[in-house]
A and B are shown apart, each in its own frame.
Chain A
């Protein structure tokens, strides 16, 4: 059976399973549609939360981010898990005791204000819609790579599937589908990791392999020491080195933690358990299931990095990379074990260019002056060849430095001569840089290298190509495809539910038509869900150019708006509606402004005030690290305004006292 048929079979079987669950778990009431009837056990909810939380980014991209960022990108590992401690201790049990269906509903009731509820709806929509774009793009990319359909067709298939189980089953359907999706994605992630860990470290468990010895070298050298040695030999930063600003690393981690705890689609999962004590323990189970992937990811990242490097420098497997030759283009084109390189080269996610024409592919890190000189040379070369083409001069097979290159109609062209002078100047500067730059104690001029020849390695390859690199059977590759789709679809469904319940429950029932019947609201919940899916599909097909940057926005805004508002609502009886509204707006505006200042107004390229570089950052804080600062501004503003406004009414104080104790959670359901 060929790989395509296998992919189709396994992905098809997983889809059939999700549809089967959807038919079985239809929602009949709004309580089932919004909160699965509050009858989901804590372990099952933990598993569903794990799938809800682990997105296309966690499954496909995170290991690659760690592979190329090393220790610096530990921020993702700590940030995306530490938030669950905050959820379990500070939010989940109290919001479950509150016993209603949406995050804005709590903010509206606690701050006795429809305006506060609407501000929360705006924050929720901005956060969840930006977040859902990435999931839809992930679905399209996975379909395109494994199922030989266009990304757009893949997106339609994925959306149709989410439509079936989310519109039919609401939270109830989504919950049980997420459980199935978790099982698919965790098996798909773990199996290749076990084999790679076994081959590189002799240890079956990736978590132990990470701290174990390097097996092909005899096991005396630690795996991590080997990785550090190989990458530094080739001019890269040591894998375990910290090269970013410590304050910024601290703040980015904090932003991801607080942001995680403030994400509405995660919080609403804790509305589905029967009791307050279940909400606490369920956060623990969620983290157990998340940790099964998150403690494996750093092993996958580091091992894939070493595998990639030793593939290009075969001598590095047992000794020093530079003691032997680089891999040859001929070997890549012919050897069966390197078929994965050819597969990924076709997708454009991996690009090689034999710049010095020696038949080998030298993969190394260009020292900064050389990289700058190479960039300048490429620009000068392009300017010259573009002008030559425009003037009708052939560019192929012509020495660009020769008089023939600038001769138009038998005479030398002055414009072309100027561009040629710029080109030869850049060439001389590059050659000077080659004579200066050293790798392994020899200058690049002596080595005959002109630049790094593995020009593109997309982060996402690290997970998706793992089974091929490790030579695992075809069904494992198919399983990885199904796992990536499960990760993206489960998160998309959770986000879509958060979006649609904010529309039907907070906007329609809460503001526009409070007297709507139970049946009418359920119908509107389904209509909002369908509209949300249509919007998400459209955004997935036409992703705004800033799709990658909006993740910083989603976490930063969740950290600066919803999390502080929820916490103050639970832990303070004094914060007033005016305080909460001003606080949320201050958090929203300050964080959005800081991000837009460096990434462009509404992410329009070129409209940024300041360059997006560490030198220009305020105290070195990157846009992704501003969330905690925004949260602090939110809290300070909220308390300051609360002190000068009338204290909350008695019934609000009673509400706060009631959510602080678990007793009576069952009764709160009836409303």
Chain B
């Protein structure tokens, strides 16, 4: 920030910061929806309804409760980290 700030710099910077933050919030909401769906949804609440679907020797809900939700959690974090790196660069706030 060596250049002197013009009169419009602060509002512009704030607009950019707001855009960055709302992009982040949208991404978080998307990821948490999946986080909720695989564990609380498939693993607990929807299990009785989906008991007919088998993954190997166990039903879908059981598999998500003991295996699938964990794999999804890992994928979600790496997905979020990668997308955030891109969003950081797009808004010029990367390290």
Contact = CB atoms under 8 A, between A and B. Distances in A.
Contacts of B44: 246, 249-250, 253
A666 B45 contact: no
Nearest to A222: B57
A369 interface: no
Given A89-B32, A211-B55, A661-B93, A280 B80 contact: yes
Contacts of A277: 81, 84-85, 88, 94-95
Interface in B1-38: 17, 20-21, 24, 28, 31-32, 35
B95 A276 contact: yes
Chain A, interface residues (CB within 8 Å), range: 35 or more
Contacts of A543: none
Given A284-B78, A295-B70, A246 B57 contact: no
A375 interface: no
A223 interface: yes
Among B21, B24, B63, B66: residue with most chain A CB under 10 A:
B66
Contact of A284 (B62, B77, B92): B77
Contacts of B81: 88, 277, 280-281, 284
A89 B95 contact: no
Contacts of A211: 55-58, 63, 67
B58 A291 contact: no
B69 A78 contact: yes
Contact of A298 (B32, B67, B77, B93): B67
A93, A284, A664 pick with most chain B CB within 10 angstroms: A284
A88 B80 CA distance: 8
Contact of B56 (A66, A84, A93, A212): A212
Contact of A213 (B39, B57, B93, B95): B57
A212 B57 contact: yes
A573 to B, nearest CB: 11
Contacts of A617: none
Interface string A284-299: 1001100100110010
A240 interface: yes
**Of residues A246, A281, A294, A657, which shows the largest number of chain B Cβ atoms within 10 Å of its Cβ?**
A281
Contact of B43 (A74, A90, A93): A74
B52 to A, nearest CB: 14
B50 to A, nearest CB: 13
Given A277-B85, A662-B88, A89 B31 contact: yes
A664 B43 CA distance: 41
A665 B57 contact: no
Given A90-B28, A281-B78, A291-B74, A207 B93 contact: no
Contacts of A81: 69-70, 73
A253 B67 contact: no
A240 B95 contact: no
B59 A240 contact: yes
Contact of B35 (A82, A242, A291): A82
Contacts of B39: 78, 82, 253
Given A298-B67, A661-B20, A288 B74 contact: yes
B65 A71 contact: yes
A250 B45 contact: yes
B59 to A, nearest CB: 7
A584 interface: no
A574 interface: no
A55 to B, nearest CB: 18
A77 B43 CA distance: 11
Q: Which 7 residue pairs across A and B have the least CB separation, nearest first?
A: A222-B57, A211-B56, A284-B77, A74-B65, A280-B81, A298-B66, A661-B93
19 contacts: A71-B65, A77-B66, A82-B39, A84-B77, A88-B77, A89-B32, A213-B57, A222-B57, A223-B57, A224-B58, A250-B44, A277-B95, A281-B81, A284-B77, A284-B78, A660-B21, A661-B93, A663-B88, A663-B95
